[in-house]
A = this chain, B = another copy of it.
C-alpha cells in the first residue's frame, strides 16, 4: 500500500532494451510501403546469415544478433540500382563462363566494357551475352563454347552494347 520502489541507483528500464538494440527515429513513409518497411526492419527479412566452410554452431533464430556474417542480396549484387537491369540468358554459348540456359544475369550499365568483360549486346534486335575481346585494333564477341564462332563486333545502328554482366543467378 505504501511506497516500495523509490529513487535509487539502477531503478527503471535500462537503456538499450528496445527491440533493435539501438535508438530509433520516426521517418515518414508512404502508407502503401509501411508494411514492407516494417517487415524489413522488424524481421530482418533480407538479412540472411552467411557461412564459410565451417559448420554453423546452430541455426540462428531471427531474434538472434546477426552482428556479422549477414548478407543482403540486393546490396550485394546491385551496386548501382539505377544503372542495373536483369536479363535472362538463352542458349549455352557461354557455358564456359558459368552461364547456363535460363540463368538470370545482373547487368550494370555504369561499368566500362573493357577487354575480357562479359557483356550484353543487342544485334539485329536480339540480346546476346558474350565475352569482349579487343586485339589488333579490332573487337570480338567471343562465346565460351567451342561450338560457336567469335563475332566481329562493331557498334552500328543495329548493334548496341548494353552493359557488363556482374553476376549470374542459376536456379537448381
Contacts and interface: CB of A to CB of B under 8 A. Distances in A.
A28 B25 contact: yes
A23 B31 contact: yes
Contact of A41 (B37, B54, B73, B77): B37
Main secondary structure of the interface of A (DSSP, over half): mixed
Interface in A56-76: 56, 59, 61-62, 71-75
24 contacts: A24-B28, A26-B29, A27-B29, A36-B75, A37-B37, A37-B40, A40-B40, A45-B81, A48-B84, A49-B85, A50-B104, A51-B87, A53-B87, A53-B126, A54-B125, A55-B127, A59-B85, A73-B74, A98-B98, A117-B172, A118-B172, A166-B171, A166-B172, A167-B170
